Amino acid sequence: MREQQLPVRAAIDIGSNTIHIVVARCKPDDLDIIADEVEMVRIGESVTASGEISPQKRDAAITVLRRYKKLAQQHHADPVLVVATEAIRQASNSAEFLVAVKSETGLDVQLISGDVEATLTFYGATYELYKEVGTPPVVGVMDLGGGSTELVLARQGKITWKTSLPIGSGWLHDRYLPSNPPTYDELEVARTFVSTYVRGLRFKKRPPALVVTGGSANSLLAMMHYAFGFDIARARVTQRDLTRCEGLLSALTAEENSQRYHQPVSRALILPAGAIIIREMMIRLRLDEIRVSPHGIREGALLAYERQGEHWLEQAGTGDLKHSRQEEAGEHVAETFAHSGRRMLHERAQKMLDWRAEVLKDEDVESVHKMRVASRRLRAVLDAYESCCDPKT
């Protein structure tokens, strides 16, 4: 079938940070992308602050979705697949938001689980990788979003393990990095939180290769191009590269970084958080290098529809989009957020008590400083753990 005769489909992802559309001519194993646009809306910002999607964020999202629907119609795309992820999952008024979108735009939004998000992202991020010679048999994919991070491991293109972590670049920024630029203490607490959290992940086998996707990962890659003359086409990033980025981002305001590195201010604000999450995951997986992909959940949705038709979402829930039958499910061995929070509380509280003993014993100013740092870290863990607790009625 010639390229012009291939069916044209569109996929829209309503995320915590952005709303993103891809329009493509589709085959079951390949995509010819003809339109790719993204808008920073930051729905997750209001969800983190109040637990719900604010009227302002709702209206901003609807404005973007109207424009995207027109773009899809201009390319005669059918169907237009729309998925919503972490911020919408967590919002107390998510049902009202979905009804408003349907009423104002006519678009049916699928509110997908973290597992489905991880599956679609994996197939979207790797469909080009598996065409290459020398791709290792075991591959990991990390989708760094605004409100969550999906992690998938696969062997020979078949998912063997996956999890969805309730931490993302926007979430980490809103919780721990409020200053512009973030302070040294804020960065230290954020790193401590992420490092402690990802230590709770247990893998049967660490992947020798990790593909990272999402807006923050691709924005960091673009920043490296402007700051260091980085070859974007190579799309390889090391821990040292990320450390250099963190240094630049923490030295200047988001407005200054936006001008220097050609990023929207709203994106520049959350890049320090994105760099921290990626680097801490690399440390946990003992990887010095990652590969960054521009593709993700949208491309995965398009491929899923082309392979499974109207049952694409149902099949994505099984974790298998390559076969018509359900394979053995991967093992979920990650700690829950609450379990991780309890472990972190114990560690941080014990550390602060250890320094208390030193302060009382020696009356040393250095010990006072260390105890103050330990208390800030304990407070950060308490703030995070609070979200897991049942509110009193």
Q: Which of 293, 309, 329 delimits the end of a domain?
A: 293
Residues 145 and 273 in one domain: yes
pLDDT tens digits, 72-110: 999 999 999 999 998 899 899 999 999 999 999 999 999
pLDDT at 180: 94
What's the token pair of residue 374?
A: 């330990």
Within a domain: 50: yes
Torsion of CA 300, 301, 304, 310, to 10 degrees: 180
Cβ-proximal residues to 354 (8 Å cutoff; 6+ apart), any chain? 374
Residues 139 and 239 in one domain: yes
Residues 255 and 128 in one domain: yes
Can you list the pairs that 317-324 forms with residues at least 24 positions away whose Cβ atoms lie under 8 Å? 317/113, 317/115, 317/116, 317/119, 319/115, 319/119, 319/159, 319/162, 320/158, 320/159, 321/119, 321/123, 322/157, 322/158
Residues 130 and 61 in one domain: no
Residues counted in the chain: 393
Whole-angstrom distance, CA of residue 6 vs CA of residue 19: 26
Residues 245 and 379 in one domain: no
Q: Which of 65, 86, 111 delimits the end of a domain?
A: 111
Residues 280 and 378 in one domain: no
Whole-angstrom distance, CA of residue 217 vs CA of residue 224: 11
What's the token pair of residue 288?
A: 């010095």
Buried b (16+ CB within 10 A) or exposed e, 206-219: ebebbbbbbbbbbb
Within a domain: 301: no
Within a domain: 308: no
pTM for the predicted model, two decimal places: 0.80
Residues 72 and 119 in one domain: no
Within a domain: 59: yes
Contact 47, 67 (CB under 8 A): no
For the chain, how many structural domains are there in total?
Answer: 3
Cβ-proximal residues to 275 (8 Å cutoff; 6+ apart), any chain? 216, 220, 242, 245, 246, 249
Within a domain: 71: yes
CATH of the domain at 90: 3.30.420.40
Tell which wins on pLDDT, 7 or 195: 7
Contact 149, 165 (CB under 8 A): yes
pLDDT at 141: 95
Closest CA to 119 of 333, 299, 335: 299
Contact 115, 162 (CB under 8 A): yes
Q: Which of 293, 323, 357 delimits the end of a domain?
A: 293
Q: Is residue 325 exposed (0-12), middle (13-18) or buried (19+ Cβ within 10 Å)?
A: exposed
Within a domain: 313: no
Within a domain: 100: yes
pLDDT tens digits, 5-47: 899 999 999 999 899 999 999 999 999 999 999 999 999 999 9
Q: Dihedral of CA 314/317/323/327: which sign? A: negative
CATH of the domain at 196: 3.30.420.150
Residues 247 and 360 in one domain: no
Give Cα 372 distance to the centre of its chain: 32
Residues 128 and 70 in one domain: no
* Average pLDDT over every residue of 242-254: 94
Within a domain: 318: no
Most confident of 203-212, 262-271, 347-356, 357-366: 262-271
CA distances (Å), origin 157, targets 136, 197, 271, 316, 333: 10, 28, 30, 14, 20
* Average pLDDT over every residue of 147-153: 91
Residues 167 and 288 in one domain: yes
Residues 121 and 234 in one domain: yes
DSSP bridge pairs for 213: 143, 293
pLDDT tens digits, 297-326: 999 999 999 998 888 988 787 666 654 333
Contact 47, 245 (CB under 8 A): no
Q: Which domain holds residue 364?
A: 337-386
Tell which wins on pLDDT, 229 or 381: 229
Contact 270, 17 (CB under 8 A): yes
Residues 182 and 272 in one domain: yes
